[in-house]
């Protein structure tokens, strides 16, 4: 008889412990999202290849040339963060006009070619995971970094050959 009561008691105790937990888990609305936690951190600088612009100019003379382009922003690595959560600061993604100019004397019987290359800077943008549990926001402590490449400058030269 004692064994029967112990089994009944343990069964009831388990039922009492498990029932609130299952009801607790079923009644909570949880939403998870990612948001930038800090400003973008500047990283490595990369350069594109030199690209010929316009035709070569034959010397003698002085070759003057200017070139303008717009800045661009490109996400290189999203770290598994859904695209709908990736929102960069407006001042970071704002399109800017980039200008460059070059001046060089071209000797007699030589040609001068105007060339341009883009300068890119890679930024790490930390994103923190947030949860909304029954209307209350809280950080989970998880942080992921996305890599963003931004065209920040133009380099130009006039090569003589």
> Could you tell me the residue ranges of all domains in the chain?
30-160
d(CA 125, CA 146): 5
Going by C-alpha positions, the residue among 45, 59, 71, 57 that lies closest to residue 115 is 57
The answer, yes or no, to whether the previous bond of 66 is cis (omega within 30 of 0) is no
pTM: 0.72
d(CA 155, CA 144): 33
Return the pLDDT at 59: 87
Which residues have C-beta within 8 Å of that of residue 9, sequence separation ≥ 6? Answer: none
2 in helix, strand or coil?
A: helix
Ranges of residues in the chain whose predicted pLDDT is under 70: 1-27
Structure tokens at 160: 């003589």
d(CA 157, CA 102): 6
Which helix (H) or strand (E) segment holds residue 145: the answer is strand 136-160
Q: How many CA atoms lie within 13 A of 149 on its CB side?
A: 12
Return the pLDDT at 61: 92
């Amino acid at each position: 008889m004692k064994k029967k009561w112990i089994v009944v008691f343990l069964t009831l105790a388990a039922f009492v412990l498990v029932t609130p937990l299952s009801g607790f888990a079923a009644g909570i609305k949880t939403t998870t999202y990612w948001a930038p936690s800090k400003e973008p951190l500047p990283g490595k600088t990369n350069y594109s290849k030199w690209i010929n612009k316009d035709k070569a100019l034959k010397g003698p003379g002085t070759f003057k040339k200017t070139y303008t382009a717009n800045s661009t922003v490109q996400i290189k690595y999203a770290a598994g963060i859904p695209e709908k959560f990736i929102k960069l600061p407006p001042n970071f993604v704002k399109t800017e006009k980039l200008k460059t100019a070059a001046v060089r004397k071209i000797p007699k019987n030589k040609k001068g070619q105007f060339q341009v290359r883009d300068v890119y800077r890679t930024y790490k943008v930390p994103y923190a995971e947030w949860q909304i549990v029954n209307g209350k926001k809280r950080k989970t402590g998880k942080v992921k970094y996305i890599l963003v490449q931004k065209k920040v400058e133009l380099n130009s030269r006039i090569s003589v050959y």
